[in-house]
Amino acid sequence: MNDLWVFGYASLIWRPGFAFEERAKARLGGYRRSLCIHSYVHRGTPERPGLVFGLDRGGSCVGMAFRVAAEHGEAVTAYLRERELVTNVYRELRLPVRLDDGRRVQALTYVVDRGHTQYAGSLPVDEAAAIVAHAHGQSGANVDYVRSCFQEISALGLKDGWLEQMVRRLPGRS
């Protein structure tokens, strides 16, 4: 049995929730990070949905890849399914990612299902900020999630002009 690689592009970057042997900056081609999913559980409710990140078609995404020892692979996969597939808005795929050191690995990845009712698509900055500002779910305030993701993405040395504009429009600290 081989080790399991997991690709994180949002909250998994700073809060994977599982033990890992190695962590490396990585790039996934063909998908981009996007605040494109209405959250009905973790960062919102069905009555007042929040917004969370998904991997949407097009471009590429730099995130973090985590190597999990083979003997923990099944448990980590079960944990991720419970965390990520609550409403089945994501599709679980194994996709090739390129690590910063040049290695290529297949990583467990969660990609948005564009046909799902929670798919929000590309929203204007002001609309996204208004949704995020007022949403709260089981995992806390949507504002905290978006700010934390933005901080971690920035710490990786990545620029996202749309996200930066949106975060500036959120109430409270920026």
E strands, the chain, in order:
4-8, 22-39, 50-68, 90-99, 104-112, 136-137, 140-141
Which pairs with CB-CB distance under 8 Å and at least 24 residues apart come from 130-133? 131/44, 131/49, 131/50, 131/51, 132/35, 132/50, 132/51, 132/166, 132/170, 133/169, 133/170, 133/171
Residue whose token pair is 């994977």: 16
The DSSP letter of residue 10 is S
Query: Among residues 84, 92, 127, 152, which one is catalytic?
Result: 84
Clarify whether 84 is annotated catalytic: yes
Q: Give the total residue count for the chain.
A: 174
- The gap between the terminal CA atoms of the chain, to the nearest Å, is 45
Catalytic residues: 84
